Amino acid sequence: MNKVVRKFFRLAHVPSVLVMCTLFYLSSRTWTFQEHFLQPPLDKVMHLSVFTALGISFCVWIRGARWIKHPMVSALIIIACVGVFGASDEFHQSFVPGRDASIDDWMADFSGGIVSALLFLATKAYRITDKLHR
């Protein structure tokens, strides 16, 4: 595999891509498990949980040395990425018949980014990320 491809595409990136593709697919559907079985506030718990998982998978993208050197910058990058993806997900839903965009859902998504960054920092899980990048 060529050096450029190895530098930017790693096995550690696969979980994030899978979660994002799954979220896009589920956002494209008019009927969802969430709408019929999870009523507020449980739907927000689902948003928080799924976007926390997405945030944790994003955390793995940043090497451990960068987490150690710049923990707040790394955390802010993760929070911003999750927030932007959550906003794009809500925007995408606004075009799906029977679905709508909700600021409350986006806030739950954004909170998932905050939770994931704080969990990653609190558990010092960044110590294993360098192993995943090899």
> pLDDT (tens digit, 9 = 90+) per residue, 14-45?
889 999 999 999 888 886 555 566 677 888 99
Calculate the CA 104 to chain-centre distance: 17
CA-based torsion, 122, 111, 23, 92: positive or negative:
negative
User: What percent of the chain stands above pLDDT 70?
Assistant: 84
Average model confidence (pLDDT) for the chain? Answer: 86
In a domain, 81, yes or no: yes
- Specify the higher pLDDT residue, 113 or 128: 113
- pLDDT score, position 33: 56
Distance CA 46, CA 109 (A): 9
In a domain, 17, yes or no: no
Does residue 128 register a pLDDT over 90?
A: no
Distance CA 94, CA 89 (A): 9
Residue 11 tokens read as 């096995």
- pLDDT score, position 37: 66
In a domain, 34, yes or no: no
Question: Range of 76's domain?
Answer: 42-134
Pair 23, 89: CB distance under 8 Å: yes
- Of the candidate ranges 65-69, 87-91, 116-120, 127-131, the one whose mean pLDDT is the lowest: 127-131
102 burial via Cβ count (<10 Å: 0-12, 13-18, 19+): middle
In a domain, 27, yes or no: no
In a domain, 79, yes or no: yes
116 burial via Cβ count (<10 Å: 0-12, 13-18, 19+): buried
Q: Tell me the mean pLDDT in the region 74-86.
A: 97
In a domain, 5, yes or no: no
- pLDDT score, position 34: 54
In a domain, 24, yes or no: no
What is the tally of structural domains in the chain? 1
pLDDT single digits (tens) 88-102: 999 999 998 878 899
* Strongest mean pLDDT among 39-43, 45-49, 59-63: 45-49
Q: pTM of the prediction?
A: 0.85
Q: Which is nearest to 43 in space by CA: 108, 94, 97?
A: 108
What residues contact residue 55 under an 8 Å CB cut-off, 6+ apart?
78, 79, 81, 82, 112, 113, 115, 116, 117
